[in-house]
Structure 1
């Protein structure tokens, strides 16, 4: 079942037409939320990111779009898909209503919600091999639009095709200054000794929810030093660990980049703390 503007519809129901602005212009935002036994992980952070992104894109925020209203709509969607007692990923997509060319006819919005089952109620570390490579065909811009979770992800799509064609599990994306920014599907962290680095938002990376949570966790520890600073491609092979973060996987260790093999000791440590925050949050 899919939730379209508060109405539950069957998966086979045609919802969007040819004039949908998300389809025609990428004029849409989305949030992907992990849910376990009816609990939404870091929901307030997702909600406030969505509201801030809508303001940046000059979308009209409906008066009904309160934190509580959208949470209830999410839970209604999860229940309709019989996933209340299980684990699920739910995606909410917000798009400007139909009409117009580049200039829209209205700034009013509609939304859809969809959910899919997950295996584990909490984040788990993967020990499987996970090899990445740099994707250098196209670049991420260093601006605020790159920080937003919009549906305009053609660079990520092309990079994922490149990864599939060349036998990689993922690719690392670079910006116009040739600095490493993020992975196809999440933020990047680099561990060297007791230092943990992640690119700053000014480099063009996604303003990720798990990125934010790990920054909070690391900043409160005495065992690690956090740095939000640019990462050059040359640093990758000097690192002890590399890992990717997003709201569904939590933390995914990278095991190989070119000839370098990486461990996951720090990643495991941080994932345990992230799970503790998810339970309390």
Structure 2
């Protein structure tokens, strides 16, 4: 089942040859984690989605309030396979018509959902190796910070990682600084300083990034900053970890010949789960 414009249906029957999301990548989306009948970090997701719609000049439907969004997600989740948690995705795309210039800025939406096998966030054990993806770069611009369906850098980077036996890759921006990972934000610990690239460097304005920044600032003795990260900085780091709202916090164990610990990442996973349970 899917939720198409507020109706639970088995098939949207969208004509793909007319769909602007397919033809031009004219779509924005939001990925959510649902736990115990609640959308985690609902307010953050809602306001990021609304901001994305405004930035790309899509008309926001009057009925699409935060309460409506939550209701539509939970209706869909209740209709599919029961599981400890669920992953849901809301995609907005402009109505058909036009080429690069749309004839209509009004939108439609689809919500999809799938079960997850773990309820709260787990601390992942085992090797997780990354390297740089240098074939293409992330632009330092506002559009790079949004979740749109223009993801060819992430797709080709994922293929590169798979072909080279890597678990993930780190993306560079057009100033050759590290912006983010293929599917998440990057955090780097050096000594007692935890750094993540600023949104102005072109990284996704991540929901989990925001949660981790807030949690880390409460850790005694830990200095937290948003600052540019060079590839050279990675070699001096004590820990690297990647964040997104589905997996939570994933420690990196190896970058080239450098191996990393995970003490701070492990602590932050515990703090994250405590926050989720209280929300």
With the length of structure 2 as denominator, give the TM-score of the two structures. 0.97
Matching residue of 2:210: 212
Matching residue of 1:42: 41
Distance 1:192 1:127 in 2: 21
Equivalent residues in 2 for 1:124-203, closer than 5 Å = 124-203=122-201
For residue 149 of structure 1, give the secondary structure of its aligned residue in structure 2.
coil
With the length of structure 1 as denominator, give the TM-score of the two structures. 0.97
1:4 is aligned to 2:4: yes
Number of residue pairs matched?
A: 279
Q: CA deviation at 1:279?
A: 2.1
Q: CA deviation at 1:221?
A: 3.0
Structure 1 residues 16 and 120: CA distance shift in structure 2, 3 A: farther
Distance 2:265 2:259 in 1: 15
RMSD: 1.1
Matching residue of 2:22: 23
Distance 1:219 1:18 in 2: 48
Distance 1:9 1:205 in 2: 35
Matching residue of 1:106: 104
Q: CA deviation at 1:216?
A: 1.2
Deviations 1:194-225 (A, max 9, x none): 10000001100000001011111122333210
Q: CA deviation at 1:17?
A: 2.3
Distance 2:251 2:216 in 1: 17
Deviations 1:19-76 (A, max 9, x none): 1111111111111111112121101100000001111111100100100111100000
Deviations 1:74-105 (A, max 9, x none): 0000011133x631100111111111100101
For residue 213 of structure 1, give the secondary structure of its aligned residue in structure 2.
helix
Deviations 1:156-186 (A, max 9, x none): 0000000011111110000000000100000
Q: CA deviation at 1:16?
A: 4.4
Q: Which runs of 5+ in 2 are unaligned?
A: none
Deviates more, 1:217-226 or 1:169-178: 217-226
Distance 1:74 1:19 in 2: 26
Matching residue of 1:234: 232
Equivalent residues in 2 for 1:80-119, closer than 5 Å = 80-83=79-82, 86-119=84-117
Distance 2:50 2:134 in 1: 32
Residues 81, 115 of structure 2: 8 Å contact kept: no
Distance 2:249 2:206 in 1: 12
